[in-house]
Amino acid sequence: MKWEVRQINLTSHIKYMITIIPAILTNDSNELKEKIAALEKLRVEDPELCRRIQIDIIDGVFADNKTIFPDVLMEIETSLLIDFHLMTKEPVDWVERCVRGMADRIFGQIEQMSSQNEFIGKVQEVGARVGLALDAGTPVEKIGTEVFLNLDAVLVMGVKAGFGGQEFDARVLAKIKKLDEIRSRDTTPFSICVDGGVNENDIKSVVSAGADEVVVGRHLFREDLVEHVRKLQEAAYG
């Protein structure tokens, strides 16, 4: 299992293994720039708190919502690693645009994906890391057993994909546990990333179930970023 061990300047000197990934879901390029700038400042204060961000991409077809497209990132300078979460019809058609947007890792929702193998192959071809994403109501069994060995990560939605501000669905914990069991038999295990609705009350159960990464969107930006990230990490192991 690939854990990122983090040391935070707290009196308890706890070493945190969970990675908190800020997510940005917006149709406003100015809001995107402002939030990335805020996260860059967070890195200056404590480089260990934030190394990666997730940009949510929704095409108006997968869900009745629409965001900025990956190309917008071409205009923004950032030292952060960028994940693109594709909530789109045929995510494979968006891969090259994500690369132009400086993608480090690309997740595709499987619900409107014709071929998981084609998507994985395309992302690997362009040199990015690859992940498949499951909506809250999509069972783990929908991922082809033959593709797990080729995945860097699996993203599990804790809410219905496509909209921010929803409450975490605790039924998703069983899916996290199932994925953790599957990767225990893998010599090159994938990371488990949980996205949507996770707060200080939920994060401990999410981590206990097997998650390595937790994606937090609007909830994270509602208060001081540094303090909020630290609160989440403390709650994960408190």
| Ordered structural domains, the chain, with CATH | 6-237 (3.20.20.70)
Average pLDDT over residues 202-214: 96
The pLDDT, as a whole number, for residue 3 is: 29
Q: What is the pTM (predicted TM-score) of this model?
A: 0.91
Under a CB-based contact definition with an 8 Å cutoff, are residues 128 and 99 in contact? Answer: yes
The b-or-e profile of 38-77 (16+ CB within 10 A means b, else e) is ebeebeeeeeebbbbbbbbbbbeebbebebbbbebbeeee
Q: What is the distance between the alpha carbons of residues 150 and 148, in angstroms, rounded to a whole number?
A: 5
Q: What is the mean pLDDT of residues 145-157?
A: 95
Q: How far is CA 146 from the centre of its chain?
A: 23
> Cα–Cα distance between 100 and 201 in angstroms, integer?
37
- Residue 21 pLDDT > 50, yes or no? yes
Active site (catalytic) residues: 56, 195
1 has a pLDDT exceeding 70: no
Q: What is the mean pLDDT of residues 185-198?
A: 90
pLDDT band at 16 (very low <50, low <70, confident <90, very high): low
Lowest mean pLDDT among 1-15, 92-106, 107-121, 203-217: 1-15
pLDDT tens profile 123-147: 999 999 999 999 999 999 999 998 9
Give the type of residue at 210: G
Q: How many CB atoms lie within 10 A of CB 149?
A: 11
- Average pLDDT over the chain, rounded to an integer: 89
Please give the C-alpha separations between residue 96 and each of 77, 85, 117, 128, 237, in angstroms, as whole numbers.
19, 14, 16, 10, 38
